[in-house]
Amino acid sequence: MASIWNGFQDVIFEALQWLHGIVGDWGVAIVLLTVLLRLAMIPLTVKQTRSMYELQRVQPKIKALQEKYKNDKEKLQEETLKFYQENKVNPFGGCLPTILQMPVFFALFRVLGGTPEKPGHLLEYLASLPVAEQAAAKSFWIILPDLTLTPSAMYSAEGLVAALPYLAFVALFGLSVWLPQKLMPATENQQVNIAGFMAIMMLYFGWISPAGVLIYWVTSSLIGIVQQQAQTRLYSKKEE
């Protein structure tokens, strides 16, 4: 299992190297890799958005079942499952694309992160460059001076002003969890509140993640939100 995981990290880094060779910027390479991965997952993400939309559409009927069988949990589960089957709604249909993104997220965490004592792939590569070139090689345009640093490390080393671009990505990282739920039609407050709680947790993960990982997740989420809104409007028009 360890060899498979290490091999997957190698593949991710080789893909980044190839893209970096084309564009000459590691941050842009991460954005392009994200776009390619999202394109590969389009069939799954279309199904994900459809499942989320259908689930929200039938929420009033689900609430009616919950009210009707509120004193009989077993009957409620039976009738809810029957309702999903009759209406061809999969309550878990939106999970797979997110699950598939997690290995890439953690692989990038290892590829872009690390320490001088235990460097990731990118730090090892940068160490082979002349010292004068290393700082420029780690930057993402003029936005982020070092893709391998976490927001917490940048804040500790350089202070609040230098860390502001990193903190902006942390905020977007958290927002990317809450916003898709908020934008879905007929979303219950409870679901939005759960998404808000998850967003707060993501703020911590963003705080300790290399900046390049945040670029990946924020880019992926932005593409997902645009796709979600386009599909949702299309489905809504069809039902008018």
> Would you say residue 67 lies in a domain?
no
Whether the pLDDT of residue 187 is over 60: the answer is no
pLDDT band at 82 (very low <50, low <70, confident <90, very high): confident
Give the pair of three-digit tokens for residue 90. 């999969």
The parent domain of residue 129 ranges over 2-57+93-239
Helix boundaries (H) for 116-210: 121-127, 131-137, 151-158, 160-183, 189-207
Residue 62 placed within a domain:
no
pLDDT at residue 152, rounded to an integer: 95
The residues, any chain, with a CB within 8 Å of residue 134's CB and separated by 6 or more, are: 126, 127
pTM given for the model: 0.83
103 pLDDT higher than 90:
no
Asked if residue 171 is part of any domain, the answer here is yes
More confident residue, 33 or 70: 33
Among 5-9, 91-95, 133-137, 162-166, the range with the most confident prediction by mean pLDDT is 162-166
Residue type, 156: S
Report pLDDT for 116: 64
- Quick one: tokens of 126? 């940068």
Asked if the structure places residue 125 within a domain, the reply is yes
Whether 85 maps to a domain, the answer reads: no
69 within a domain of the structure (yes/no): no
Domains held by the chain: number: 1
**Is the Cβ–Cβ distance between 193 and 226 less than 8 Å?**
no
Longest dimension (CA), the chain: 71
Question: What's the pLDDT tens digit per position in 32-44?
Answer: 999 999 999 888 8
Q: Is residue 68 one of the residues assigned to a domain? A: no
Q: What is the mean pLDDT of residues 101-120?
A: 82
Mean residue pLDDT of the chain comes to 83
Q: Is residue 164 part of a domain?
A: yes
